[in-house]
Amino acid sequence: MKITLSFLFIFFAAGFASGQSVFSGNVFVAPVYQEVPLGSVKPEGWLKHQLQIMREGTTGHLDEVHDKMKNSNGWLGGTGDSWEETPYWLDGAVPLAYLLDDAELQKKVKKYIDWTIDNQRPSGYFGGITKYERENNTKVTVANLKLAGDDWWPKMVMLKVMKQYYQATGNQRVIEFMKKYFRFQLEALKTIPVGQWTEWATSRGTDNAMMVQWLYQQTKDDSLLELAELIESQSFNWSEWMGNRDWVIWAATYQNDDRWMRRHGVNVGMGIKAPAINYQRTGNKKYLQDLKTGFTDLMTLHGLPMGIFSADEDLHGNDPTQGVELCAIVESMYSLEEIVSITGDPFYLDALERMTFNALPSQTTDDYNNKQYFQIANQVQISRGVFNFSLPFEYEMNNVLGMKSGYTCCLANMHQGWTKFASHLWYKNSKNGLAALAYSPNRIKTTVGKDKAEIEVIETTNYPFDEKIRFDLKLKNPVEFPFELRIPGWCNAPNVTLNGEKIQVEKGSHMISINRKWSNLDRLELEFPMEVTTSNWGKNSRAVERGPLVYALKVKERWEKGHHEHEGDYYSVFPESAWNFGLIQDVVKKPQELLKVKKVKPVTDDFIWNQEHAPIEITAMGRQIPEWLAYNGVAPQPVTARDGIYKGNVSEVIEQLTLIPVGCTKIRIVAFPVVK
């Protein structure tokens, strides 16, 4: 039995993948990794339970509890919401319905999809019935679009919904619907540009171009590439900004009204995929360098230890007292998933996992019914107030945990985070083989090889808490195909075995491909030893890491329920134990020796991201800093010298600190000062 093992890096085939098409002197590049049909992946274990919580909470019932969507919904022909919130919700509810095989939820979301397709105008325009249409008893056409039409932006989100519905069902109505709309758009944009109604559409035009290019892959209609190029020409030029670097430096300096849309965190989260989308359409590898430069600059100047950039709402530097909008997290996750599909670069998978497992879980309540509009990195309490955010809100409600606190865009948009992560655990490679790009408990049923043989792969793991991942294959007959696996960049001693025999693997972020004829009951096992390390962040702070997880101080919580006349019920969380500790210098110098890892609880199928269920604890030595106090609910980072050591008064007593995964916290210190 011959096994061929190859190591795959970013430029290994990205510029010369199959399915090229020439347009305007450019070369369309097929994705390195193709998405699998929605529903092929079935989450198991802790991940399935997370999705079940969402189904029982707002993801499954937002249309019943959110008045903006509940009352006369415009996406069902009413006079209510016909802008972004209903498509935002569907963008997470549709994949959830098929990930869980939930017939009731599938029926619920389908009525919005059916109404949208059934009520597409003869011209190709779609969306809620506009005020002009109602008052003039007419329909939107290219000729009357300026008067009769409405914002391009929410349609971009609904196109993503339609794509996922097609991936789940194969319903050809979606393809015909998109073809008709894009023909309309190609003509209309020549006189009614993307930014006709709002700058939101201009800043997010890449999402429109992305969907046009997806349809091109289904139809090979070159007019779609013309349309994608036109949309990009009328939209924010994220690719140029990211590559030329001035944008991210300027964003780090100014927080006024001037050009704020180009540093708005959600726009940035969507915009980071623009270079990959442009590369896909043109084959110009300069876009890939622009992407790497811009993303690295973004995380250097604005990065927080949880793996996300500050965005409250604007980019706001790397001080641990800065926050991030929940929408920015889920949009950045989706952008990274698209970037990985197009480029195959595992660098962005490391970024995706760090963001998913650290930034995402802590910003919603256990029942997925309440969220923070902004969470803070070093969050010593959750409360009403005007904090050091670029958008402080007159209601003082942007930090509390509430269903409607802050803007309700996040209430609608948060649902795509876990669902799209789950649906993108697996991809297909160019040989109709499998690629396991992100890891969590699940199983996948699909077809592989040139003869499209049926296969089921069961992935058993408690990752990201545990180091081991096992793949068990079920096949009727042996079949040859390449099975690709990602080696995380943080792992220094990866171990891969096939049916008990070790496969030699290098360390560092990369993909390996095992090419062989696979048989029923073959077993692949991965082990990624998770060393404990510390990393350097804003204000000379240090974070404690183990594998893909970042750890934070465990602080005893006291929850208080409140009510706001405009934004409803909400929760505040206050500390009931000391939080003002610095790590002693020796911990930073010798983390593997002095940071002790304890597995305190099993990861069960009813796991929840909270203190009670935290399966891993790390004990560290620290000293209290008496003068480090909260000011108006925020703890300004203690000033350190160039050597990184806090020079003020510290307690003489060395204490044992308990750290847990930051995703299991609500209040915490994650970026520690260092003391002697």
Domain boundaries, the chain: 44-235, 426-461+468-527, 532-675
Instruction: Decide if 344 contacts 350 (C-beta within 8 A).
Output: no
Instruction: Decide if 330 contacts 413 (C-beta within 8 A).
Output: yes
Confidence (pLDDT) at 10: 38
Is residue 394 left, alpha or beta, with left meaning phi > 0 and alpha meaning psi from -120 to 50? alpha
Confidence (pLDDT) at 3: 55
What value does the mean pLDDT of the chain take? 95
pLDDT in tens, 62-111: 999 999 999 999 999 999 999 999 999 999 999 999 999 999 999 999 99
**E runs forming strands in 190-311:** none
> How many angstroms separate the CA atoms of 29 and 12, rounded?
13
> How many angstroms separate the CA atoms of 353 and 433, rounded?
23
- What is the CA 404 to chain-centroid distance, rounded? 21
Q: How would CATH label the architecture of 426-461+468-527?
A: Sandwich (2.60)
DSSP state of 538: G
> How many angstroms separate the CA atoms of 229 and 56, rounded?
42
Amino acid at 145: L
CA distances from 34 to 9, 161, 276, 451, 471 (A): 17, 18, 15, 18, 20
Q: How many helices (H) and strands (E) does the chain have?
A: 23, 29
Count of C-beta atoms within a 10 Å radius of residue 67:
10
Confidence (pLDDT) at 25: 58
464 upstream amide cis, omega within 30 of 0 = yes
Confidence (pLDDT) at 255: 84
The backbone torsions φ and ψ at residue 637, rounded to the nearest 5 degrees and listed phi first, read -65, 130
617 upstream amide cis, omega within 30 of 0 = no
Instruction: Decide if 671 contacts 638 (C-beta within 8 A).
Output: no
Confidence (pLDDT) at 251: 85
Confidence (pLDDT) at 386: 87
What residues pair up with 562 in beta bridges, in sequence order? 570
Contacts of 66 (CB under 8 A, 6+ apart): 58, 85, 403, 404, 408, 411, 412
Amino acid at 446: T
- What is the CA 277 to chain-centroid distance, rounded? 17
Instruction: Decide if 8 contacts 511 (C-beta within 8 A).
Output: yes
pLDDT in tens, 622-674: 999 999 999 989 999 999 989 999 999 999 999 999 999 999 999 999 999 99
C-alpha closest to that of 342 among 419, 279, 422, 268: 279
C-alpha closest to that of 420 among 150, 44, 36, 139: 36
Contacts of 61 (CB under 8 A, 6+ apart): none
Q: Helix 45-56 vs helix 416-423: angle between axes, to the nearest 10 degrees?
A: 140
Confidence (pLDDT) at 388: 87
β-strands 371-372, 510-518 pairing: unpaired
The pTM of the full predicted model, rounded to 2 decimals, is: 0.96
The three-class DSSP label of residue 201 is helix
Count of C-beta atoms within a 10 Å radius of residue 102:
18
- What is the CA 520 to chain-centroid distance, rounded? 34
Residues of the chain falling short of pLDDT 50: 1-2, 9-20, 22
Count of C-beta atoms within a 10 Å radius of residue 141:
16
Exposed / middle / buried, residue 451 (Cβ in 10 Å: 0-12, 13-18, 19+): exposed
